[in-house]
Amino acid sequence: MRDMTTGSAWGHLWRYAVPILLGNWLQLAYNAIDSMIAGRFIGKEALAAEGIAGPLMNLVILAITGLCIGTGVLMSEFFGAGDLVRYRQSLGTTISIGTAASVSLMGFCILLTPFMLKLMAVPPEIYDITTRYLQIIFAGMPFTFIYNALASGLKSAGDSKTPLKFLAFSSVLNAGLDLVFLGVLHFGIVCSAVTTVAAEAVSALMVTVYLRRRFPALFPGKAELRADRALLHQIMRYGGPTAFQQAVQPIGKILIQGQVNALGVTTIAAFNAVTRVDEFAFIPEQGIAAAIATFIAQNRGAGKEERIRPGFRAGLRLEVCYWVMIGTATLFLRVPVMSLFVSGEGAGEVVRTGSRYLGLMALFYLYPAFTNGFQGFYRGMGKMYTTILGTAIQISVRTLGTFIMAPHMGIVGIAYACVAGWTAMMLFEAPYYFRTVRKRALPRTFPRRKNLADMW
């Protein structure tokens, strides 16, 4: 556990963010390897199928993680205030309500998969394998929720290292199973989905056992694993907008994917590959934003308003440092990285198409670094609707730009549309911070606890 209400803001953010960054990279590395295995051992049709399934998968998964992120902010406030009873009750309420909701959502998504893929104009030659792959992925939704809920509980208390360990184990397990069943035994893409669900189930079980045995003071008991009405209102006030915000992004990406699908299988495959590379830039930046949100929420709970703004500025510096690293790597390694995703007939065109996109995007990854930093600030301050509006502006402009530019410029037009969306989001978030939030007194939400040791 990490108490962020004392000590250096930069030190806390760095030590908290690094395990999240490593975890994000590990998960993304598995996603990329999964695409590489599918593309090399099954064919570009499998690579295209996973690319089409990605936005729909993310629509559901990000909504689940968004609920957990929002609840994590609330739990960080309780942890900062030293109120472990309310901490356990909020976690118990999230688990009980969220598990039931994820089971219902699972069935709903499985039934609607064929309809959603038809709306996306999926090419007939990959429609059947995409449908089967996506339905199996949706079957693992309850495991995804349980892992994310408990991992958010650990992160809200300052422990970002333990979720990394569980994620590492499940990712290695997943990749190993893929290599055996797809690379050696030459099973189809359906097997890839099955191994993914199995790894999710293992990670959910591991984090449950760990939290219950290692930190029983944080694990909800039987009486707390129920819906507390008063806390449910607060959870939905924090988690509901964040879940909606997280779902807004993939809705736009589904519309964008529809435009990509009209450009042919080669462009679909290239876009799937560059999307994996993009995620190496975007998602770790969101991890730094999570560190900013946790730092701010804990200090709000502790009533230490004077630490919030310095912590936010330190978080932005961390975002910029990350951009320098990932942007440089993407710019110089874009061709060899693209070459990892596909082989055989048509591979050269896929690599050339994706490399043009990545050469542009590497220079503009700075934009989401800043916008994610501001998102972390607003989330930590409990201003969830501000984050929704910023995200809605970004994805709306990006989607509109794609519809206008992609038919004429191809995948390069999608890159310029991304830049337009981030610019619009920045023009909203930065002035709002300087003109409104920064001028207001930062609220004291909880009385300061006496000592961290009193919590245990």
What confidence tens digit (pLDDT) does each residue in 98-132 have?
A: 888 888 888 888 998 888 888 777 777 778 878 88
| Predicted pLDDT at 85 | 85
| Predicted pLDDT at 443 | 46
Domain enclosing residue 415, as ranges = 9-455
Q: 1 lies in a domain? A: no
CA angle 243, 145, 94 (to 5 degrees): 70
Rounded mean pLDDT of the chain?
80
Give 443 or 325, the one with higher predicted confidence: 325
| Predicted pLDDT at 421 | 93
Indicate if the pLDDT at residue 308 is higher than 80: yes
The sign of the dihedral angle between the CA atoms of 322, 325, 329, 331 is positive
Contact 27, 286 (CB under 8 A): no
Q: 2 lies in a domain? A: no
Give 33 or 418, the one with higher predicted confidence: 418
| Predicted pLDDT at 33 | 67
Which residue has tokens 């079957």?
A: 139
| Predicted pLDDT at 424 | 94
Indicate if the pLDDT at residue 71 is higher than 60: yes
163: left (phi over 0), alpha (psi -120 to 50) or beta: alpha
Indicate if the pLDDT at residue 67 is higher than 60: yes
The sign of the dihedral angle between the CA atoms of 197, 200, 206, 207 is negative
Confidence of residue 442 (pLDDT cuts 50, 70, 90): very low
Question: For the packed helices 384-409 and 411-432, what is the interaxial angle rounded to 10 degrees?
Answer: 160
Q: 228 lies in a domain? A: yes
pLDDT tens, position by position, 253-272: 778 877 887 777 778 878 87
Closest CA to 274 of 360, 345, 343: 360
Confidence of residue 425 (pLDDT cuts 50, 70, 90): very high
Contact 239, 71 (CB under 8 A): yes
| Predicted pLDDT at 10 | 78
Q: 3 lies in a domain? A: no
| DSSP code at position 5 | T
Structure tokens at 36: 């590489």
Confidence of residue 449 (pLDDT cuts 50, 70, 90): very low
Please give the C-alpha separations between residue 161 and each of 17, 47, 251, 320, 374, in angstroms, as whole numbers. Answer: 9, 32, 31, 23, 24
Q: What span, in angstroms and rounded, lies between the C-alpha atoms of 121 and 117?
A: 7
Q: Which are the contacts of 360, defined by CB distance < 8 A and separation ≥ 6?
A: 412, 415, 416, 419
Q: 4 lies in a domain? A: no
CA angle 150, 152, 154 (to 5 degrees): 75
Question: For the packed helices 189-214 and 9-37, what is the interaxial angle rounded to 10 degrees?
Answer: 150
What is the Cα 449 distance to its own chain's centre?
32
Closest CA to 171 of 32, 19, 12: 32
Give 82 or 373, the one with higher predicted confidence: 373
The sign of the dihedral angle between the CA atoms of 191, 193, 199, 204 is negative
Closest CA to 239 of 54, 91, 422, 433: 91
Q: 382 lies in a domain? A: yes
Give percent above pLDDT 70 in the chain. Answer: 84
| Predicted pLDDT at 199 | 84
Give percent above pLDDT 90 in the chain. Answer: 6
Indicate if the pLDDT at residue 21 is higher than 80: no
Q: What span, in angstroms and rounded, lies between the C-alpha atoms of 185 and 381?
A: 51
Determine which of 250-259, 292-301, 364-373 has the lowest per-residue pLDDT on average: 250-259
| Predicted pLDDT at 374 | 92
| Predicted pLDDT at 447 | 46
Buried b (16+ CB within 10 A) or exposed e, 99-121: eebbeebbeebbeebbebbeebe
The total number of structural domains that make up the chain? 1
Q: 265 lies in a domain? A: yes
Query: Averaged over 398-422, what is the pLDDT?
Result: 89
| Predicted pLDDT at 456 | 40
Q: Provide DSSP, 210-229.
A: HHHHH-TTTS--GGGSS--H
Q: 422 lies in a domain? A: yes
Contact 271, 260 (CB under 8 A): yes
